Structure 1
Amino acid sequence: MIIRLLSAALVAGFLAAVVATGLQLALTSPLIVAAERYETHDAQASAGHPPVLRSGALPGALPIVLAHAHSGAPAHSEAEADSGAAAAWQPGPGLPRMAFTGLATLIGGVGYALLLGAVMLACGRAPTLERGLGFAVAGFLAVALAPALGLPPELPGSEAAPLAARQAWWLMTAASTAMGLYLIAIRRVPVTILGGLVLLVAPHVAGAPEVAATASPLPAGLAAQFAARSLAIAFVFWAVIGLAFGWAWQAFGRTAPAPAHA
């Protein structure tokens, strides 16, 4: 059982990573490059230096897994660099960033596929194509869509609340939404449905951490486009995981050797 679960998760995670990485590089990476240009231009302008726009980068941001990991801190100016402020390491432009994007997506895909399979088995549901897709949609709602209602995916240079506060709210929202969906869709009795509805709305009633509004160099349309594309990629990512896991689970079950009889 464990080998079958791991094998199906590896297949599902790999296929989802291939699809999602291609979509990220085609749809969200150009927006991140544009945001980095605005961020660099604004930082250099505030420091009194002529703007030097970066180009040709393919950022390794992973909106499916790391959409809320961006700290929102502005880029260091040249004056800060001269004073000894060390910039955080990041992959170089081009192939390195593409490779790290794919690697991060692959790790996240396999992890989510393992979690998806474990949840289906724990709920007593044998993985199939239909059930895999259904549980994957629930995973998308819990991990991507519900947290995005309070903390939408952010571009570099966006103002954001402290990282620890955002991570805590994201975890609370994902766990609360997942439990709420379980009580509504799996338990299916009036009391659990009511409790599930309460869990679905509770994180949003409490409210996501906020930051004081300040002038941002990023156009609002660019940020909205990035959030929409990130969520669309996340949906495709989860759908591929669910379908691929259901297919791989059945495929590995058919190829498993029959137990020997004495």
Structure 2
Amino acid sequence: MPTITHPPLHHQQVILLSGLSGAGKSVALRALEDLGYYCMDNLPAPLLGDAVSMLDRDGYPRVAIAVDARSAHNLLSLPEKVLELKAAGLDVRCLFLEATDDTIVRRYSESRRSHPLSNGALTVAECIAMEREMLAEVRELAHCIDTSGMSAAKLRLWVREFIAVDAAKVTLIFESFGFKHGIPLDADFVFDARCLPNPYYDPALRPLTGMDQPVADFLMRQPSVGPYLTHILGFLERWLPEFERDQRSYVTVAIGCTGGQHRSVYLAEELRRHFSRSRQVLLRHREQHGH
């Protein structure tokens, strides 16, 4: 994991946290607070600039502010406010948390809480659909993390990685996953490795992962794996410069196999090894505990 370096006192860093209700914003905000950020929740978007200026004057160099659908009537002004802060020279990073509808419905059922947009007439599913539409423009500003099936500990880890990277550079994120658990909502590109030979069917390799050398050795011996990896590398080398010219801060490349244990993990590791020589890279294994 990257080493966390905080900005000097004269350079304020602002983390703008948003996302769907039930997607884990409270966990993320607490993680940022533990990392030394002054945190504000449910701030109306028009007050963003004033709040940041006030906290800067009061000596808070690291600030995390949550803005979401609870301030629905103010959300339209949020993109403009973010651009104003960036134009003023602040290090502003936007993080958006989301999850599948089924995940959010289950979380609300388990917590027995009502959705913030519920008026007594709407179902949770209807509230989620309304909230996705309301937050669509906010999502476009941000780096997205899909928290479906994610533990609180893993979300805290990914938040730490998010703030550790150099925001002035494009961050390339490689994420392995298992198709049987669903495609990550936060992926910009998805590659399907299920066409490759599966180490799962070798009893000696079944309990291992793509991070283990015996699995890597097995896959390197397969005639189809090398060309598949080469084609992904060529595609990304060709199109990543276009994303950089478009001033994208984060590009997430998801690689899936059946369970997210062997093939996708191996390919994500190899892609990280290749691109880390020339770019800022994060590696995430969604189905692996602690990664």
TM-score category (smaller protein)? under 0.3
Q: Which has the higher contact order (CA 8 A, sep 6+)?
A: 1
> What's the TM-score, normalizing by structure 2?
0.25
Structure 1 or 2, whichever has the larger Rg, is 1
Higher-strand-fraction structure: 2
Normalized per residue, the structure richer in helix is 1
TM-score by length of 1: 0.26
